[in-house]
Structure 1
C-alpha cells in the first residue's frame, strides 16, 4: 500500500511550496494542511521542534524543509544519475538558500524604511553574485541545474526563487535568459502546471 502524506504549513507558498511541487510532480496525493498565522501559537507546540513545514508519512513526522525535499527526491528518483549528481542537488538548493534567507530577513524587518533599504541592497549587491552563476549552471547542464535532467533541485529552485521575487517585489530572474527558460520549463511540467493553476493565491 502506498504511504499517506500530510503536509502542515502556513497558508502560504513559502518554504512549503517546493515540497508541494515535488509531491505534485510525483503524482502523489497528499493532505495540504494549511493554517492562518493566527493559529500558529496553538499549532507550534504540536510540532516536533516548534517549526513548520512538517511532512507526515503514514503519521510519522519529518521536519526541516530541505531534509524533506531530499528524502522525497530520493524516494521519487529525482536525484540525478549518481551520488555526485545528488551532491550537486544539495549544493544548488543550499546555495539558493543562502540567497533566499537574506531576502526573508529583509522582508520581515519591522522597520519599513530599513526593509526597503535591505531589499534594494539585495537586488544591487546579491543578485549579481548568485543569479549569473546559476544562469551559467543551467546553460551548462542542458537547461537544468544538475546532470542534464530534472531533479528535485529544479523544483526547489523555481518554487523558492519565485517566493524571493515576490518578497523583493522584483522579478530578478527576468534578466537571465537561461533561468527564465528554466522557470518556464518547470512551470510547464504537466502536474506542476495543473497545481499552479488551482493553488490558493497567497502573497508569497
Structure 2
C-alpha cells in the first residue's frame, strides 16, 4: 500500500494509517482493522477498496473493463494464495509457534507457490505490456510486486525458483516515481 501511496503522494494530500505508523490505532477504527485512508476528512477502509480508489483516482486502472477484470483477477488470485499459505506465513512471521516450519514449507508453501507463480508467469508473458494488464502498468502491479518482495524475504530460494517473477517485481520497482523510495526503505518481512 505504501508503494502506491508514494507513487501518488505528490498529486493529493492523504492521511494513511497502518500498524507501522500508529500501533494499535486500528482498535479505534470503524471496522477495527487497518489500513485506513483519510481523504478530504472521509475515511476509507479495507485494502482492496483503497487500492481500487487510488487506481481509479490516478489512472492506474486499465480503461478496458476486460483488461481491468483480468488485472483484478490476478490480485484476487494472490489473496487466495495468501490464505492457503497462512499457516506457514504466521509461523515464519513469528505470529505463532504452532507447526513444523520445514513440513509447512514443503507441504504447503512450495506446492502453492509453484502453482500460483507459474500462472503469474503465464499472465505476465501473455500480456502485451509485461505487466498484469495489456494496457500497461496498474495498481495491481504495485500489489503483486510488493508481495513478491515479502516472499523473497520469507524464502531464500524464491528468486531461483521464479526468476521471471523477480524480473517483473524489479521492473515495477524501477518505475521512476518510486525507485528511490524502494531503494532506501527499511526492510520488512511483510
Report the counterpart of residue 151 of structure 2 in structure 1: 164
The TM-score, its normalising length taken from structure 2, stands at 0.83
Q: Please state if 1:150 is matched with 2:99.
A: no
Q: Please state if 1:190 is matched with 2:172.
A: no
CA distance in 1, matches of 2:22, 2:102: 26
CA distance in 2, matches of 1:173, 1:139: 17
Q: Please state if 1:57 is matched with 2:44.
A: no
Pick closer, same or farther for the CA change 1:38–1:46 going to 2, 3 Å: closer
Native 8 Å contact 1:108 1:115 kept in 2: no
Deviation track 1:45-102 (CA, whole Å, cap 9, x = no partner) reads: 3111111111111221111111110111111111113111111121011101111233
Report the counterpart of residue 120 of structure 2 in structure 1: 134
Pick closer, same or farther for the CA change 1:160–1:85 going to 2, 3 Å: same
Native 8 Å contact 2:19 2:34 kept in 1: no
Report the counterpart of residue 94 of structure 1 in structure 2: 76
Q: CA deviation at 1:36?
A: 5.3
Paired residue secondary structure (2:189): coil
In structure 1, list runs of 5 or more residues that go unmatched. Answer: 1-18
Q: CA deviation at 1:153?
A: 1.0
Report the counterpart of residue 90 of structure 2 in structure 1: 108
Structural RMSD (CA): 2.4
* Higher RCO (CA < 8 A, seq sep 6+): 1
Spell out structure 1 runs of 4+ moving beyond 6 A: none
The TM-score, its normalising length taken from structure 1, stands at 0.78
CA distance in 2, matches of 1:116, 1:30: 42
Paired residue secondary structure (1:78): coil
Report the counterpart of residue 178 of structure 1 in structure 2: 164
Task: Determine which of 21, 24, 28 is the counterpart of 2:3.
Answer: 21
In structure 2, list runs of 5 or more residues that go unmatched. Answer: none
